[in-house]
Chain A
Amino acid sequence: MDVDHILDTMNRHSVECLLIGGMNFLLRHAPVLTYDVDLWIADTPANRRRCEAALAALQAEWGATEDDWGPVAARPAGWLDCQALYCLTSPAGAVDIFRAVKGLDDWAAAYARAVSGVTAGGIAYRGLSDADMLRSQEALPAAEQKPERLLRLRQALQEGRHG
């Protein structure tokens, strides 16, 4: 999985997005087993079009059904408007695109609270703040919550280590 390539492609296409999920936690706290890149995009028509272009450049594949599965580059503009989230594959790895995140209702406010970072490969990203990561974890059904992550985030917030 080439996480740097995924983030760099989003940056180059000026996609307004926040890194969320396991990769964000991994970059800021501790190793966790994750094999996809979760991105929460600003849910505007213009940004969705930029995101579609970035996913096409990544040679990502998705389908509304298995029969419909194929390169997103072949889809008409506006395909990202159809549902709230998408799980795609690409040669660089799996990518999840979220138009909404449970527990968080305002992308712009979350972006303002987000933490800027740079991967070891030198790629800039903006990751969901610890407080927002915790909110989104707590909004999940109990069976889907990750106890280790909740513990680490609560500790970090108590110690005032991160945003």
Chain B
Amino acid sequence: MAEADDLKSREERKRERMWNPRRRWQAVQQAITWAEQQPAVRRNTRACAMALQRRHRAADRH
């Protein structure tokens, strides 16, 4: 299994060297945009906003 771990890190290092930096940057930006659209990732939902508002109001009362 150590061989498999070594292969993974060698493959990743090789890809890093071969990946055009501009394309890599674009890929990271697009990955963030895509991730934000997924239901599990959304932080700015109505439910989240209401929960945050409740916490702020509770804090203001004390």
Which of A2, A34, A69, A85 makes the CB contact (< 8 A) with B7? A85
From known contacts A85-B8, A144-B5, infer whether A93 and B18 are also in contact, taking CB-CB under 8 Å: no
**Size bracket of the A interface:** 35 or more
- Interface check B15, CB cutoff 8 A: yes
> Is the Cβ of B35 less than 8 Å from the Cβ of A31?
yes
Q: In the bound complex, how far is the Cα of B15 from the Cα of A15, in angstroms?
A: 23
Collect the chain B residues with CB atoms within 8 Å of residue A31's CB. 35, 40-41, 43
Which residues of B from 12 to 50 have beta carbons under 8 Å from A?
12, 14-15, 17-19, 23-24, 27-28, 30-31, 34-35, 37-41, 43
Task: Give me the interface of A with B, judged by CB distance under 8 Å.
Answer: 1-4, 26-31, 34-35, 61, 63, 65-66, 69, 83-89, 91, 93-94, 96, 100, 102, 119-121, 141, 144
> Is the Cβ of A1 less than 8 Å from the Cβ of B18?
no
- 7 interchain pairs, CB-CB under 8 A: A1-B31, A26-B38, A65-B14, A69-B14, A86-B11, A89-B23, A93-B30
